[in-house]
Chain A
Amino acid sequence: MSLVPDDLRYTKEHEWLKPAGDGTALVGITDYAQESLGDIVFVELCRVGQRFASGSTFGVVESVKAASDLFMPAAVEVIAINPKLETEPELVNRDPYGAGWMLKVRLDDPAAANAMLDAAAYRKLV
């Protein structure tokens, strides 16, 4: 069984978003996603300062088996990317909700997370 923490919000495409409460949030992929992908060997992310509409592609995660697009959970501006993933993409496998985070973003709408799946709804999906 894959982990679905209660305090996060989710997309159908298996990204998570963790609001910090100050209008910013962290973004990553779920335990289910990393497990399905298998060994992750490369994470290609957008740049700091880029703006995204909800549902647009912000990068690619490449496992031994396949390359998969990453989808932005909400309308945001990217304010940081996880610098460790460039040399340690396996952090996404090892700790998808912690050290394997991908982006720090500023939400266009601080309440955007409310429109996303909560843990109970995401659990039903996986």
Chain B
Amino acid sequence: MSETLLRTPLFDWHTRQGARMVPFAGWEMPVQYTGILEEHRVTRGAAGLFDVSHMGEARVTGPAAVAFVDRVATNQMSDLPVGRARYTLLCAPDGGVVDDIIVYRMGSQDFFICLNAGNAPGDVVWLKEHAAGFDCVVRDVSTEYAQLALQGPLAVAIAQRVATGADPAALARFSFAEMTLAGVRVLASRTGYTGEDGFEFYVAPGDAVALADALLEAGKYLGLRPCGLGARDSLRLEAGLPLYGHEISREISPLQAGLGWAVKLDKAGGFIGRDALAAEAAAGPARRVVFFTLDDRRIARAGMVVSAEGRAVGTVLSGTLSPLLNRPIGSALIERGALESKAVLNVDLRGTVVTLQVARPPLHKST
């Protein structure tokens, strides 16, 4: 491969912290520093600091910005208050998922959108195409932001140590505000992708290292550690949060993924994909994403076949070891019939047949 990988402003910082860098979605990213299992436990027990600057960002402004965002988003955006953020899907006309995103309402005619790294360039094209006819402007602002995620039960205490002026603890879940942390201006959002409390900080790329250093210094005695994408993936899977390309995709609709709560079929004016999703809702999804644990040490991995009574009824979408349960966990897409008949679901792991223990996330809190 001769593809040139992009680097975040924290690339040298990662190297100094002893990270192992790997290609991810076109970026050279830290997969781990000391170990995925340890970083996972640190985030659940204290706090982890993640560089997620590879995520893309777009800005939508103009008199018709609300109408436009409501047209492309499955979730309701017109009633999103300024200062609040909301999770939504972007869907294709057939109901397949283009991306899952977080929309931030910056002003009455101003939206900031966080996009998945691998989808960001395509998303921007998609948004611009569908903005034709709306009195608003879509801009790709990905290069204007680095992003750090501070996640874990001690995230608030750590943020408070470096905050001047506003109190980060005052931010409600899925709220955001500009604030100053260690002299750096950030857009602080009480959101995350780990199932823990915490923040995502959007900063100017030139300030990313200063912010990372200040947070790490403020948090090190509380157990804060830099954490890589490996732990980010196991944390989100344990929490039951979807990852684009695994639990949702062009082929797996939000209704199949159990994200119906973010699909407002009845919102005024409809949205792209509405009719297909309404038809799917009426008929009931033909297959559904389930989460599971395994009574084994072998991990069921993405792409493996799930069978019931000797017949293939599904596919594993994600799999890893839960460091908290100390057993494998995962997600799978299963035919409706097999779920309705409560059939025993099996995976063949190198000749050993193991039964999926279907469980409701967060998996680390299910027993």
Contacts and interface: CB of A to CB of B under 8 A. Distances in A.
Interface stretch (A10-18, A57-65, A102-110, A116-124): A57-65
Given A38-B230, A62-B297, A44 B36 contact: no
B36 A39 contact: yes
A42 B230 contact: no
Contacts of B301: 66-67
Interface in A63-88: 64-67
B36 A42 contact: no
Contacts of B297: 41-42, 62, 89
Interface string A33-62: 000001101101000000000000000101
Contacts of A62: 297-299
A82 B47 CA distance: 36
A64 B320 contact: yes
A38 B230 CA distance: 10
B365 interface: no
A42 B354 CA distance: 15
Interface in B303-342: 320-321
B353 to A, nearest CB: 15
B234 interface: yes
A41 B230 contact: no
Contacts of B321: 39, 41, 64
B37 interface: yes
A39 B37 contact: yes
B350 A64 contact: no
B36 A64 contact: yes
B142 interface: no
A38 B298 contact: no
A42 B35 contact: no
Nearest to A87: B297
A33 to B, nearest CB: 14
Given A64-B37, A64-B230, A65-B230, A41 B299 contact: yes
A117 to B, nearest CB: 24
A44 B35 contact: no
Nearest to A65: B230
A44 B298 contact: yes
Given A67-B299, A67-B301, A44 B230 contact: no
Given A39-B37, A62-B297, A64-B320, A44 B350 contact: yes
Contacts of A60: 350
A13 B301 CA distance: 23
Given A38-B36, A39-B36, A64 B234 contact: yes
Contacts of B191: none
A64 B32 CA distance: 11
A50 to B, nearest CB: 15
Contacts of B20: 38
A38 B299 contact: no
Interface in B13-64: 20, 31-32, 35-38
A31 B301 CA distance: 25
Contacts of B299: 41-42, 62, 64, 67
A39 B228 CA distance: 13
A29 B234 CA distance: 25
30 contacts: A38-B20, A38-B32, A38-B35, A38-B36, A38-B230, A39-B35, A39-B36, A39-B37, A39-B38, A39-B321, A41-B37, A41-B297, A41-B321, A42-B298, A44-B298, A44-B350, A60-B350, A62-B297, A62-B298, A64-B36, A64-B37, A64-B230, A64-B234, A64-B320, A65-B31, A65-B36, A66-B301, A67-B298, A67-B301, A89-B297
Interface of B: 20, 31-32, 35-38, 230, 234, 297-299, 301, 320-321, 350
Interface of A: 38-39, 41-42, 44, 60, 62, 64-67, 89, 93
Given A64-B230, A64-B321, A65-B36, 19 more contacts: A38-B20, A38-B31, A38-B36, A39-B37, A39-B38, A41-B297, A41-B321, A42-B297, A42-B298, A42-B299, A62-B297, A62-B299, A64-B37, A64-B234, A64-B320, A65-B31, A65-B230, A66-B301, A67-B301
